Amino acid sequence: MSKKNIAKLKRKCDKVWSLIIRKLGHCELCDSTEFLNAHHIITKRNSNLRWDLQNGICLCSRCHKFSLRSAHNNPFTIIDWLKDKHSIESHLRIVAQQDIKKFTYEDMEQILEGLTK
């Protein structure tokens, strides 16, 4: 499989993941319903969690990137939020300790199929 096709499938999975996270319809930090973004709690560089729906949080653009207390500028913002979400926190701690996996094209097709259901 060519790298071009793998990159295209990866972008497609990212887009579907983002749409699902943003379906919540409001920022989980400030309740805004405008300019919603999907944020990875654990960086998407950790391929095990890249498309895990429990690794996402719906944020407005301000809470995501554009304020001093945003998720990207102050990670303690997300840590405080996680304290109220113990099941997510423990799930992420377990999954984050796994070895990094390199997904095959077929793996990503299955992930995309699972996300679109």
Determine the pLDDT at residue 16: 97
Tell me how far apart the 2 most distant CA atoms of the chain are, in Å: 43
pLDDT at 15 over 80: yes
| Paired tokens of 91 | 């799930």
pLDDT in tens, 54-113: 889 999 999 999 998 898 899 888 877 777 765 666 666 666 666 777 888 898 899 999
| Paired tokens of 26 | 């409001």
| Paired tokens of 106 | 């077929």
Per the structure, how many domains does the chain have?
A: 1
Note the Cα 20 to chain centre separation in Å. Answer: 10
- pTM for the whole structure: 0.80
**Distance between terminal CA atoms of the chain?**
25
- Full residue range of the structural domain in which residue 104 is found: 3-116
Average pLDDT over residues 17-32: 95
Average pLDDT over residues 4-12: 90
* Tokens 């996270």 sit on residue: 21
Q: Which helix (H) or strand (E) holds 22?
A: helix 3-22
The residues, ordered by sequence, that sit 6+ positions from 28 with a Cβ below 8 Å of its Cβ are 57, 58, 59, 81
pLDDT at 3 over 80: no
Of 93, 37, 86, 99, whose CA–CA distance to 65 is shortest? 37
